[in-house]
Structure 1
Amino acid sequence: MDPIHNSFKLVEGIYSPINSADVLLSLIADKIKFHNLQILNFQDKNDPNVMRAEMRIEELKASRKLVTDMIIKARDKGLHMKIDGIINIEMLKPL
């Protein structure tokens, strides 16, 4: 039987600020793009899913700002960044 819950490391390592920017900002940009495409696919723009996607985009933009600030700070201080990104996946029955 397949497991219904699994975790795996998506990102793991110590990176220079420029490489950290490539990894982290690319992930955030892809998620923003995903939600924008979801919004375009909804027929009814008043659908609650549209509002959730728009809210998630705003959260991701705020995260992007925080990550960018951290990257700049690390660069200015001559530091590297340790990134440990774990993804948890659980299979559920639809609501």
Structure 2
Amino acid sequence: MQLSYWEIKSWFTHIDYTIVGSGIVGLNCALQLKQKFPKANILVLEKGILPQGASTKNAGFACFGSLSEILDDLKTHSEQEVLELVKKRLDGLLLLRQTLS
């Protein structure tokens, strides 16, 4: 794609943050940055017309984690640490649902 001088000057100068990828993670990152830094200029780059990464594939889903994963975590972490991790996972899923709803 060949961009004009004016497109480059207006779209790609004075950028504070650049996000690579416009999937769930990339766009959420841009939203969070804009909330924290309302005056920031944020550029989101995507290689295609639509996102084509993990957000559109089998790995592009949000989940709480399986029981076997939680039991495995108990082998290397205390019960309190695992409970805190489970709470963070739940909080993250609720925030994602709130953001995307």
Provide the TM-score with structure 1 as the length reference: 0.34
Q: Which structure ranks higher in relative contact order (CA pairs < 8 Å, sequence separation ≥ 6)?
A: 1
More strand by share: 1
TM-score normalised by the chain length of structure 2: 0.33
